[in-house]
Each structure stands twice: as structure tokens, then as C-alpha cells.
Amino acid sequence: MASRVEFFVALVWALVVVSAVFLVGPSSASWHAQVFVVGGEPRGWTQPAAPDDETYNHWAARNRFHVGDFLHFKYDKNDSVLVVSRDDYKFCGASRPAQRFDGGDTRVRLDHSGFSYYISGAPGHCDAGQRMTVRVLPPLQDAAATPAPAEAPAAAMAPGGGEDEGGSFDPPPGSTPPGHGGGGGGGGSMSGPAFTASSSTPPPHEHQHQHEHGAAPASIGGCCHRHVIGGLVLGASSLLLLGV
């Protein structure tokens, strides 16, 4: 009798351990960082060349960015990436950026949730529409338990226009044909620098087309774990009683 009881007790613990590993493992590994090419390919981060070019706020609104994702800015080497405050974003103030990146190719990692603001550092580019507001959501594995950041001001995120939309179209002399344009860059900040340069952090594989995150997948955790494990324990206990 004792050996049978010990066997079923061991079985119960084995079921609990196996179920915990099975359920918790996939939940924690279900999210992977994504790389977003700002503006999409082949456009990249550039000064708008036509009135009907998609604004960068519209592009950003079509995507979901989470903490841990990367933004890849591709721009001309005579431009720069500026991380600015909301006020500097609204008025295209480039004299006091929180961060500045140069070189024509910049990957930054999204470090914090909230809103961030980007403008081009080239003269006239921001006024011509090369600016963007990005809303960064919590990591997907934490999204179910973490409240989303407050909504952005309507003008800041509305794809149709507004003072934060990116400015009116004003092509410079000698601009390239519609659909193409000169290079530019952008960065972002919340209450302090929101991003870190990714040179020390190997980014994940980049998708050639901008990746659009769906809603955060429902993770199996908390309540579901208890129900499943409880059912396994109850079933094993029933076997134990029947065996006794």
C-alpha cells in the first residue's frame, strides 16, 4: 500500500512540474523583437517629395511598436537623426536635441513605453514633413498586465493632418521627382532619451517590408496555469483514491 501511495504522490509532482514547464515556457518565448525600416522600403527616412506622399505619422500609426523593438533609419549621409521633445517636434526646433545620430544608417532600440518624437536635422526637411511621432507599447509579454500609455493628442497621431502631422509640403529647388526625395533621419525621446543606439546590441533579422505587429497574443498565465495544474492534480488524486 505504501509503495502505491508513494508512486501516485510522485506522479502528482511530476505532472505539476511538467505542466508548469510546458505552459510557462511558450508564454515567455512567444515574443521576438522586430526591426522596422522607418517609412518602409525603398523609401526610408527622407524628405517628402510630393503632397500625396504618405506622412510618417500615418506610417507609424499603421504599425505597433513595443519596447525591445528596433527602428532602422535609412537616410542620406548629409542628414542626421534628432531625438527631440514634443515642443521642438511641433516647431521643428533642431538646436537642442536629446540625441543626435549621423552616418546615413542608424538602428535604435526602443527602451521605454510612451511617445517619442523625431525630426530631420537637415535645414527645411522637418518643415517639409520629415518628422514623426511614435507610440511605444509595453513588451508583448507584459502587455496584458500593463496599462497602455495615455492616448496621444489627436493632432499628433491623426493620419489626415494637424500641427503635429509633419508639416506642409514645400519641395525645395532641384528636388527629385515625386515619389522620391533626399535623405533624412529621425530619433525619439520620451521623458529623457527613449532609445539607445543598437551598435552594442545585435538586432534581430530585419524584414525587408515593414513588419506590422498584431495585437498582443493572449498569454497562458495566472488563472489558466492554476486551472490546468489544478485539474492535473485533481485527476492524479482521483487515481490515488481509486488505487487505495
Coil, strand or helix at 109: strand
**Cα 55 from Cα 156, distance rounded (Å):** 12
Pairing of the two strands 35-37 and 70-74:
parallel
**Cα 121 from Cα 239, distance rounded (Å):** 71
Contacts of 56 (CB under 8 A, 6+ apart): 38, 39, 45, 118, 129, 130, 131, 132, 166, 186
Q: What is the pLDDT along the chain (244 residues), one digit of tens a residue?
A: 556 656 555 655 555 544 554 444 444 445 688 999 999 999 999 999 888 899 999 999 999 999 999 999 999 999 998 999 999 999 999 999 999 999 999 998 999 999 999 999 999 999 999 999 999 999 987 655 545 444 444 333 333 344 444 433 344 444 333 333 333 333 333 334 445 544 334 455 554 333 333 333 333 344 444 555 555 555 555 555 555 4
Pairing of the two strands 99-102 and 35-37:
unpaired
Q: What is the 3-state secondary structure (H, E, C) of 113-160?
A: CEEEEEEECCCCCCCCCCEEEEEEECCHHHCCCCCCCCCCCHHHHCCC
Nearest in space to 165 (alpha carbons), one of 104, 85, 92: 92
